[in-house]
Amino acid sequence: MKFLLAGATLVFLWPAVAFAGTPEFVQAVRLFFVLQDASANGESRASAMQGEWAARAIEAAGDIQSPDAATIQAAAGFILAGGPADLGDALLRRADLPVDDIALLKAIVAFKNRQEGEAAKAFAGIDPFSYPPSLGGRIALSRALVLPDADVTEKLSFYDTAIQLMPGTLVEDSSLRRAALTCAALPDQDCFFTYVSRYFRRFARSPFIDAFLSALGDSLIKREVARKPLDMERLDWLLTKLPAGTRREFFLELARNATAAGLAALAAFSASRAGRLAVPGSIEAVRAELYANVPGVSGPDYEVAQAQLTALDAARLTEDDRSLLDAALQVSAFIHAPASGREAPANIPAEHLALVARGRTLIAAADALLNGEHHVQPQGR
């Protein structure tokens, strides 16, 4: 069986001569790795070809006779990069494997099968630096992933090792994203911003950027709820490394989620940034206006917020956003109506109940003040 490399000769691939004399399985795996790494750097053609070369590698694995070190290492890396665990099981059934290779394959198969405790124990005796960088980086990333979340220092150490061993690859892409989200839960904001800055600088075209930004937004919400907000001005500056459309969608999603969670300050900041990045009159501009004014219905300038919301063209909004708009207007009417005429808002979706809770808190505080009781000023988040 011979693989013709002509179909895979794209400008970002190594020339075919680099594989001369290389076993077919190893050749296919290496090309698969190159395609993965090109994909992480925004090459859409590479993404489309990964499946083909993964299939070729799996087919070639059936022809492995006497696996040498290069073949074992290619198999180990391929499994960690998304190949089947069955390949590791097949190799482990052989009687001619060195002890070190058996230990490595057992750890990798356990990792692939999501046996995290067993994988962590098996990986403990494996040094990523004792293997070629293309495998060592993947081992380091895998070791970080199986560690408990509480082992922050060790997790970050393995992420750093993976980044050091495999710069410019999908492994660095993944390690930077995961390290940033690990740091997002820490008090040290510099840790978070260091990884985020490097990720935006090096992988702005990654196909994983949208998923990362969504996870990043979830982390920001959690920090706001815990009253440990990140420096949003600093994050806004770092985001300038990304295309304007990407930044706009990030801030719109963040503004909506912050609005639904009752986080007024974060919602206002995000909606403001989204509005700056939106074309006037566009649906994105309408959404930004919605998210910017919803928190205001429970504030001192509620009449302005009500007027802005009422003026919005609701027909241009999605069903969810129309629901949010209706909830805001109902809550505003509920809060600011005379006590004798209040009717509790009805049919408000669960995700918008933070608005109702905020309204009831304000009413309780006002009632306590009018009754001359000691009261606590409602929190603005």
Domain residue limits, the chain: 127-221+229-241, 243-381
d(CA 284, CA 247): 12
Give the rounded percent of residues in the chain with a pLDDT score beyond 70.
Answer: 82
Examine the pLDDT at 228 and tell me if it is beyond 50.
yes
261: confidence class by pLDDT, cuts 50, 70, 90: confident
Supply the pLDDT for residue 97: 84
Burial class (CB in 10 A: 0-12, 13-18, 19+), 283: middle
Sign of CA dihedral 332, 335, 336, 339: positive
Give me the chain's average pLDDT, please: 84
Rounded to 10 degrees, the C-alpha dihedral 198/39/214/242 comes to 50
pLDDT tens across 320-375, in order?
888 888 888 887 777 766 655 555 555 555 555 555 555 445 444 444 433 444 43
- Between 333 and 51, whose confidence is greater? 51
184: confidence class by pLDDT, cuts 50, 70, 90: very high
Length of the chain: 381
What is the residue whose two structure tokens read 């070809």? 49
Measured distance between the N- and C-terminal CA atoms of the chain, rounded to whole angstroms? 64
Examine the pLDDT at 111 and tell me if it is beyond 60.
yes
d(CA 54, CA 47): 12
d(CA 16, CA 12): 12
Pick the CATH number of 127-221+229-241 from 2.30.29, 1.10.3470, 1.25.40, 3.40.50: 1.25.40
d(CA 220, CA 185): 9
Give the rounded percent of residues in the chain with a pLDDT score beyond 90.
Answer: 58
What is the residue whose two structure tokens read 């098996």? 122
Q: Please give the model's pTM, rounded to 2 decimal places.
A: 0.81
What is the residue whose two structure tokens read 């702005």? 204
Contact yes or no for 88/109 (Cβ under 8 A): yes
Tokens of 17: 């001569």
Among the listed ranges 31-45, 151-165, 200-214, 332-346, which one has the minimum average pLDDT value?
A: 332-346
322-331 contact pairs (CB < 8 A, 24+): 323/349, 323/352, 324/256, 324/259, 324/260, 324/290, 324/294, 324/352, 325/290, 325/294, 327/352, 327/355, 327/356, 328/293, 328/294, 328/297, 328/355, 329/297, 331/297, 331/298, 331/355, 331/356, 331/358, 331/359
Q: For residue 145, which phi and psi values (nearest 5 degrees)? A: -70, -30
Would you tell me how many other CB atoms lie within 10 Å of the CB of residue 339?
A: 9
